[in-house]
Each structure stands twice: as C-alpha cells, then as structure tokens.
Amino acid sequence: MLYTEVSLLGQLVRMSKNREVGTAAFGGLIIGGALTAIFGITDLPLASAIGGLIGGGIAAYLLYGKVSQGAMAGMLSAVFGYPFSIGIIYILLIFGVYTPPSGPTPPMSVIQTGVIVEFLLNLVAGAIGGVVVSSVRRPSLALEASTEMPASLGLGQSRYCVQCGAQLQAGTLICPHCGARQPG
C-alpha cells in the first residue's frame, strides 16, 4: 500500500511542468507540517488532516495557478508535511521539550495502519485545501489584453507558455490559460 502512495507521488511530481509547483508545495509542507506538529502535541482531533488542509491551501496560495496545479501542490505539501511534523515532534522529544502521554503501546499492525490512513487523509485534505484556495485566488485573465508587447518586438510567430505549455501569440507576456508571466 505504501509503495502505491510513493508511486502516486512520483507521478504527481513528474506531471508538474516546472519548479513552481515544487516550490509552492515546499512552502505548504513547512507551514502545514509545523501546524500538524503543534496540533498533534495539543491532542487536537484530526490534527494531521487539519495541518494538511492548511498546508495545501498555503501551497495553492503561493502557486497562484490553475486549480489542478493547486490541488497537486496541496497534495504534495500535505503528504510530505506529515513526516516533517513527526520529525519536529521527535526533535522536541530529544530535547525534552515535549513528553508524550504515558499509556499502553499499540501493536505494530495498528501503528502501520494508522500511518497509511494518515497519509491518505492528508492526500485528500491537501487536495481539498489546494482546490479551494486556488479556486478563490485565480490569476486575472483580463490582464491579457494590456500585457501584450507590440508585434514588432515579438521574436517569432508563436511560442508556448513556460508553465502550462499552451500556445501563445507572439508578444504575450501573461498566459491567458494559466496566468503565468512569460519571459520578456
């Protein structure tokens, strides 16, 4: 089951066409992972999913792109934010800042199942956070008309968007499909 999740994450990373998705996912991972650790220490129910949802929203906010890209960045940030939060908790344990509550230790099979459920829950929560925020914060396509260079400055007949790959007219500075700024 874990191999399937790793394979899915590999496909998501390959689907991203530029570094912006990774950068946005990293920002969401840091903030969402830190919040997951804080929520987990305070015993907040569904701490990991809430942290993943917030991390996914942060990733989509940083990406400022299409909804599908926001969902992808949200999923990546939420799934990788979970191990990041566990690392933060272990660091707090090592330095004696946090002491876990005492009680019986569950069997390993229960722990493994819980980790898999947390990963899947984070995947869904991050995607939801990414979709919601990127739906609300879409780039304005009305800028297209005002951001075209004169045709005499265009170097070729047409070119392609650096983010989504859509064909653009010569001189277009902002992609009308995804809103990404094109190199001069």
Indicate the pTM of the whole model. Answer: 0.65
Token pair in block for residue 15: 């689907």
Please work out, in degrees rounded to the nearest 5, the angle formed at the alpha carbon of residue 65 by the alpha carbons of 58 and 127: 50
Please work out, in degrees rounded to the nearest 5, the angle formed at the alpha carbon of residue 84 by the alpha carbons of 79 and 85: 100
Following DSSP, what letter does each residue of 19-31 receive, concatenated?
Answer: HHHHHHHHHHHHH
More confident residue, 80 or 8: 80
Q: Tell me the Cα Rg of the chain.
A: 20
The band of 154, judged by pLDDT with boundaries at 50, 70 and 90, is very low
Task: Among 11-20, 32-41, 60-69, name the most confident range.
Answer: 32-41
Asked if 163 and 178 touch (Cβ cutoff 8 Å), the reply is yes
| Res 10: pLDDT | 52
Residue 75 has pLDDT above 60, yes or no: yes
Rounded to an integer, what distance in angstroms lies between the CA atom of residue 32 and that of residue 98? 19
- What are the tens digits of pLDDT across the range 110-121? 999 998 998 899
| Res 110: pLDDT | 93
Q: Locate tokens 């399937």: which residue?
A: 4
Average pLDDT of the chain?
Answer: 80
- What are the tens digits of pLDDT across the range 114-140? 989 988 999 999 999 999 998 887 665
- Residue 169, SS3 per DSSP: strand
